[in-house]
Structure 1
């Protein structure tokens, strides 16, 4: 079967949630979330729940309930199936219900800030995949084309196989269904959970929804209540109508048992609310074939995890490709491990409604299919909903013949024995699966089947697959069916932007269920004219058994990415083409973040450049989204011949801003491989004024959100002597530190810590307006510590400098070091090494704001109440002393008394213990001596 696998173009950490393409509020349950926590002991669950409630409450949302999704999940964990690693652990999945008017995206992203939460998603609603027939549709037979009658001469009885029908329910008394309904003899109807599976009296199946989705009261009656909800009745008959009984219709598999799992409401037959819970129920209760004639645009980790669970228990999950006549992926059909079914008519031509694509595994008739309806009736319906149970019925027959095969092997038997139909569907070639179902072939042919499990891609540009570079592809392969000999793998593509070098690999022989890893390499050159972020689809072709086995599958890779991953030293991060550090995209995607010792530490690092409270060009968060003011001019590219282990540059402008300042920015990132320079990267911004007039009073800085260990229990402090803003975990004292050091010295520093958890904070209302961003840039040193008591907060901070004056067509250069360390001393030492290294970096832009000579400047603010900053510049390394005296000349505090390097300094001075009045501060550095006055007010 086809193995769907995401292209690894985004290597980021847990990021900002965005709704999948095509999903609207009609596609999920209101005020309901599916949440998965990190693995915890049972006694800690209440604590985790409280943490989640706190995160929601901070965003104006009140939790109504937080309850386990699967109370009996622990009963079925640890079961393994042939060819699978282990069953996913579902014991930490919860349903959260909440009150509040915040958008669901806002609520989810508040939850994702809690490090105890692995993921949070809407509870998606799916739609059954049928197209109602009208009176002009005539009855059509499909058995002949599928060679069903010939197959019955080989085998027709599948009474040992259970097909799970996860749908709107079924007609349990229908004359052509009743005898095939699976009965759970271990739990008769007596008001007791006899089999202790968590479902009382699930003798006939289970109803997860009940009458209405607004109440969702589960019960043990999966019977449909009206003709408007009989989608599942039609599906049931196609999968396993009672055959050879002189009534109604026949099915491909005789006597297969139908496990009815109702996941639709009595008052809405088209909506599927708890499809994935239904899949788990089917897998837990012995259904080795699971039919899902429904789907929609909402994917996510929860759905994939439920599929992984069913596959690991040996089940084959078969899903409808969808009825929108599109190549857009639908779920669950597009999930890895699902057997996806498209629809064709009786002439093997794609049905007009059927979806298609490389993730489809097989096609089957789905146009005007005559079968069971509610109330002992019959009629025709069309859709991939009808194609899917046809394949499920065939799968049951194959399972009956090969009882030791797991679900994946059953799917591969069906796929590899299908009749080819590309010739009759040339514009959909390779997008309707291997072909159209042939039941006789499935029972009589012995085939091999090779599928890739993983494709490992390495390149010369740290994962960015840039134009002009080579990719190296290695393949992990698995043989599912008959042994194969003389196997070769070849790679091809129709893209004009890649050249495949050495495209053929000799694999050799593989036995049944054997895996071979790291097969290769195949080299692929990304040509110099490749567009940015270009998707290349590769075809993997297999030939073996002397040419008697041929097969193929497809894989899409995005090349020439507009960001560069840096992995040359002990920290891993990403240079973007828009000023961000760590990630290119707003949702913490398109990059590595900032990783040290395998710990992802960064959620956001965004550039902000401000002129006034109404004019800040930036790409930091804002109200419910992110600003995207910087437009790419030249994509991130590696610099050749650099003295650094890595040097990359990119250029962008602020032309996308609502009120652009008129800036062009060249960003540069440098990394070094050896100690003491192996725990930081240097980020430099050369900011050019593109306007015809000088820019006065420009402030610039980085809005940075570190998430260390448990993100809501962090603290941040500012080391004034080194201009380093650092963060650390309050609870886990052994967790590494992370921080940003300002390396530039031509303007006073700014440090403004924040947390949305504090009332009155710039982030408290989740808006972070332009005025608030300017406030954090231009307020100097707000405080030197934040979150250092109790358990701390979910902290963010702005670190920057200013004001700067930039002449017309002139530039300034601002540099930072992004650092990590095992502890504070380690981090500060790496920061010192970063400054020393930066002073030797060639090709630094000249800075018109750099002051030549010694200078003591006026404190700011002045007059001041609680805190002021005293700025000064040193022309050269000097023994430096900065003191504060009262009007009587008595020294009341010595702020600096040490040897300092040349540069610009801004020393914070706490005034809270001083009485109002006049004071003086004096700077002595070498032969330089100057005194200025400051005013303290209350």
Structure 2
């Protein structure tokens, strides 16, 4: 064990001197100039294997999965090993528990893209997720300690939360341990030394006596530096301040009193003391849960997206190991999700002042569970063994609740973690009516912590949703979407006689159609589901872009007067659409990307087949007229992505599709080349997409692009194509690319294990081209994605026809399927169309490709060059319309707007008359086929 460091004072204290136990404490108050944001840790990834059919842990090796191990070897991953080898598997009586034994970690070679590696691992189809590892900052920023020099001192907060009287009921117990996962501690402080939970089974002798994988973890562990010294890092006393709030020795005639009284604390250091360590908050949570901590305090966090890996860790602690997890809600005065506080199974704690009003810098949201004092909290400092300091922020509100949780666990030893959390939520003092809180009602939790009520009241009722299942299950929902919501509710405390759950929307953009679930009489810990009659919701057509809509679950039992709320946030109208009418689900963005909004982006739901694993790593539209004049929004050769396309009209699903089960449309453009020194093309793109729900059309999605020349010069020639970096289930480095010239179909599959075939068919516009890319080609290759995708390489894939359309040696492969247009005059337009295909066999893929071609030619407005001499008049018509033709013969087909074939006739002369009086008013399509070509006309029948 290292000797304790000679600690340095906080900068503000270097001038003022150390504060002893007899000195008047001064206040350090948290500021909120910026929102703390989590950052990605370079060179590390975590991933979770899909459960094996036998529910056994992976076999020895990298992971024991040959497909995944081949990918890890290919990307040169190092130190691949289970993340939590000692974690206990979930038991059969633990619904909702997780198996951390399936989580692995890997180190990456220098310069490797974390997101690219995560994408490669996801595309193997063997992992539930692959994610970066994040760093979270502690939630303390000290300011001028003289800012509150007139303060009279003392722990006012103990009176506010009724701790003194609560101690008359219970003083906690040394067997209840509170984990302080933070910046370390001071082992010799007068108010902490006796409160540290030591591991007597592993004394400091250089041997792992308790065989838990940690040598000499007598005082705890330093996860950031991977050693057995949890002593604080230099210039940081955050962990000591937090520990004092929860567990400072009480009734010892010295210093202050911790809320937990006799409850001890386990110091777990998660911030490094040197440049080689790393943040390790989530590793500390697992350790705390596995080493008997009944309460875990997290006084750190940041705004940012949700991580399933981090949620798994929280779930493991709360469900598998029955620990109460308490976290600070944040110190940014805004309504936002703040992690880890906003995860499920976490008690999120916001801050109040000495008058029980919301602190000026407190984060507020529907995910906050309760509030606690968080300004001028006198606690242990740790620059000496006898010093104390007054601090502020949610970092110090959270451990007050953690200490209270320790008392509740002592008072009600039969309560599980969820019940302890419910008891704390239900026994707060409502403070919504106070002047400073009225505007935040419902967003500062159920009220201010009352420890006395928490340890004395036994008649409380509380229910909670333990699972929520949306159908369809998406990350976001588009205007007009209808969804079903099945929930599992659990009664946590006293029995209820007729529990109802009522769903309501707090947003005008979500309409609740089926709102009530009658759970009925429920015993303590009983669960009920509304799966048979789920809630039904509809997204309003006018929902703004990227709207976060909140819905409320209200639990009520009229007989007991019980009422409690829980909230859910739903993302509406994202900047992409998902076409999923058939067996392919395809994401189409507003800027020409397919699958995701760029490599590594989480905006989008990828491309999948029959709800299987993601099939596409990256896809998007490419335009080019030369090797230096290329426009796209896909990856480049500068460790990033090009951003040439700008949205004009965002992608949206048509509310009343006329030509397919689902239709999407949108418009984007690039910049004029005169503004980019000739680097871009200068084209406006109107994109349309069509998906069908009926066979044999379920295995494709048609993508159509109408290109308009915005420049003053003729584009000669113009190349257009789709880049698709497929990663099929199985070994991503074992695919081949084939070219079916007769069908203009380029497809990809694994010849050793052909589970699925994917590809593109050129349907219309220009001369077809196809290029197969070996992603791992040597540096001498003309195109090599291993070092990026340059403009010159993109031009090569578009411009050399089909001479490189095949790639028959198994490798990690991509494709570019496109078309070459001889010229496009200024202001002129042309249409190019492709079918994106997937099928379980080659024959089914070919059938789908043929069906797509037939469907597009017969039913969709192909905008083929106009046949000379073809005239339709009058149009619109109320009954008769005349069709003039070039010299026959010709075949005339009439279709409804929905694509139903209504009639076919053969014409030998130069004209014919159509009688539309037999048909209802509406839009019709007239297909004309002659020896010289074909065209499709729109015909409107009026009243």
TM-score (norm 2): 0.79
**Equivalent runs, 1:468-617 vs 2, <5 Å:** 468=480, 470-501=482-513, 503-518=515-530, 521-546=534-559, 548-583=561-596, 587=601, 589-596=603-610, 598-617=612-631
Contact 1:87 1:313 in 2 (8 A): no
Note the C-alpha offset of 1:447: 1.6
- C-alpha distance in structure 2 between counterparts of 1:681 and 1:284, whole Å: 49
Q: Secondary structure at the match of 2:733?
A: helix
The Cα offsets for residues 236-256 of structure 1, whole Å up to 9 and x where unpaired, read as 222122222222222223311
Note the C-alpha offset of 1:409: 1.8
Note the C-alpha offset of 1:431: 1.9
Q: Secondary structure at the match of 1:43?
A: coil
The Cα offsets for residues 501-560 of structure 1, whole Å up to 9 and x where unpaired, read as 464544433332222223654444544433233222223322224362121122222223
- C-alpha distance in structure 2 between counterparts of 1:365 and 1:236, whole Å: 16
Note the C-alpha offset of 1:714: 1.7
Q: 1:802 aligns with which of 817, 820, 842?
A: 820
Contact 1:481 1:513 in 2 (8 A): yes
- C-alpha distance in structure 2 between counterparts of 1:597 and 1:499, whole Å: 27
Alignment of 1:729 with 2:756, yes or no, is no
**Equivalent runs, 1:493-892 vs 2, <5 Å:** 493-501=505-513, 503-518=515-530, 521-546=534-559, 548-583=561-596, 587=601, 589-596=603-610, 598-622=612-636, 623-628=638-643, 629-633=645-649, 635-638=651-654, 640=656, 642=658, 644-655=660-671, 658=676, 661-691=681-711, 694-709=714-729, 710-733=731-754, 735-744=755-764, 746-759=766-779, 760-764=781-785, 766-786=787-807, 788-789=808-809, 792-847=810-865
CA distance change for structure 1 residues 464 and 377 in 2, over 3 Å: closer, same or farther? closer
- C-alpha distance in structure 2 between counterparts of 1:484 and 1:767, whole Å: 61
The Cα offsets for residues 408-457 of structure 1, whole Å up to 9 and x where unpaired, read as 22111111111122222123222222111111111222222222334444
**Equivalent runs, 1:312-323 vs 2, <5 Å:** 312-323=320-331
Alignment of 1:371 with 2:383, yes or no, is no
Contact 1:127 1:272 in 2 (8 A): no
Q: Secondary structure at the match of 1:310?
A: helix
Note the C-alpha offset of 1:348: 0.9
Alignment of 1:360 with 2:375, yes or no, is no
Match in the other structure for 1:415: 425
The Cα offsets for residues 221-247 of structure 1, whole Å up to 9 and x where unpaired, read as 323476x33322222222122222222
- C-alpha distance in structure 1 between counterparts of 2:782 and 2:409, whole Å: 62
Alignment of 1:185 with 2:200, yes or no, is yes
Contact 1:750 1:780 in 2 (8 A): yes
CA distance change for structure 1 residues 280 and 465 in 2, over 3 Å: closer, same or farther? closer
Contact 1:115 1:711 in 2 (8 A): no
Match in the other structure for 1:235: 242
Contact 1:639 1:648 in 2 (8 A): no
- C-alpha distance in structure 1 between counterparts of 2:80 and 2:511, whole Å: 53
CA distance change for structure 1 residues 696 and 42 in 2, over 3 Å: closer, same or farther? same
The Cα offsets for residues 881-906 of structure 1, whole Å up to 9 and x where unpaired, read as xxxxxxxxxxxxxxxxxxxxxxxxxx
CA distance change for structure 1 residues 88 and 179 in 2, over 3 Å: closer, same or farther? same
Note the C-alpha offset of 1:122: 4.5
Note the C-alpha offset of 1:782: 3.3
Q: Secondary structure at the match of 1:718?
A: strand
CA distance change for structure 1 residues 303 and 458 in 2, over 3 Å: closer, same or farther? closer
Contact 2:650 2:667 in 1 (8 A): yes
**Equivalent runs, 1:252-331 vs 2, <5 Å:** 252-266=259-273, 273-297=279-303, 300-311=307-318, 312-331=320-339
Q: Secondary structure at the match of 2:542?
A: coil
- C-alpha distance in structure 2 between counterparts of 1:807 and 1:97, whole Å: 50
- C-alpha distance in structure 2 between counterparts of 1:185 and 1:157, whole Å: 21
Q: Secondary structure at the match of 1:281?
A: helix
Instruction: Select between 140-149 and 184-193 the one with higher mean Cα deviation.
Output: 184-193
Q: Secondary structure at the match of 2:787?
A: coil
- C-alpha distance in structure 2 between counterparts of 1:371 and 1:86, whole Å: 36
Note the C-alpha offset of 1:494: 4.4
Match in the other structure for 1:398: 408
Note the C-alpha offset of 1:728: 0.7
Match in the other structure for 1:883: none
Match in the other structure for 2:59: 41
CA distance change for structure 1 residues 111 and 648 in 2, over 3 Å: closer, same or farther? closer
Note the C-alpha offset of 1:294: 1.8
CA distance change for structure 1 residues 373 and 588 in 2, over 3 Å: closer, same or farther? closer
Contact 1:81 1:406 in 2 (8 A): no
- C-alpha distance in structure 2 between counterparts of 1:416 and 1:81, whole Å: 30
**Equivalent runs, 1:334-353 vs 2, <5 Å:** 334-353=342-361
- C-alpha distance in structure 2 between counterparts of 1:455 and 1:276, whole Å: 24
Match in the other structure for 2:96: 85
Contact 2:775 2:786 in 1 (8 A): no
Alignment of 1:154 with 2:164, yes or no, is no
Note the C-alpha offset of 1:274: 1.2
Q: Secondary structure at the match of 1:422?
A: coil
Match in the other structure for 2:460: 447
CA distance change for structure 1 residues 572 and 110 in 2, over 3 Å: closer, same or farther? closer
Consecutive unaligned residues in structure 2, runs of 5 or more: 1-33, 52-57, 871-888, 892-930, 933-943
Note the C-alpha offset of 1:498: 4.3
Q: Secondary structure at the match of 1:600?
A: coil
Alignment of 1:247 with 2:259, yes or no, is no
Note the C-alpha offset of 1:717: 1.5
Match in the other structure for 1:881: none
CA distance change for structure 1 residues 91 and 191 in 2, over 3 Å: closer, same or farther? farther
Match in the other structure for 1:882: none
Note the C-alpha offset of 1:50: 7.0
TM-score (norm 1): 0.79
Match in the other structure for 2:439: 427
CA distance change for structure 1 residues 201 and 450 in 2, over 3 Å: closer, same or farther? same
CA distance change for structure 1 residues 647 and 23 in 2, over 3 Å: closer, same or farther? same
Note the C-alpha offset of 1:491: 3.5
- C-alpha distance in structure 1 between counterparts of 2:251 and 2:830, whole Å: 86
Contact 1:811 1:847 in 2 (8 A): no
Q: Secondary structure at the match of 1:264?
A: coil
CA distance change for structure 1 residues 248 and 69 in 2, over 3 Å: closer, same or farther? farther
CA distance change for structure 1 residues 636 and 97 in 2, over 3 Å: closer, same or farther? closer
CA distance change for structure 1 residues 713 and 155 in 2, over 3 Å: closer, same or farther? same
Contact 1:813 1:847 in 2 (8 A): no
Match in the other structure for 1:8: none
CA RMSD, aligned part only? Answer: 3.5
Consecutive unaligned residues in structure 1, runs of 5 or more: 1-20, 58-62, 210-215, 853-874, 878-926, 929-938
* Total equivalences in the alignment: 813
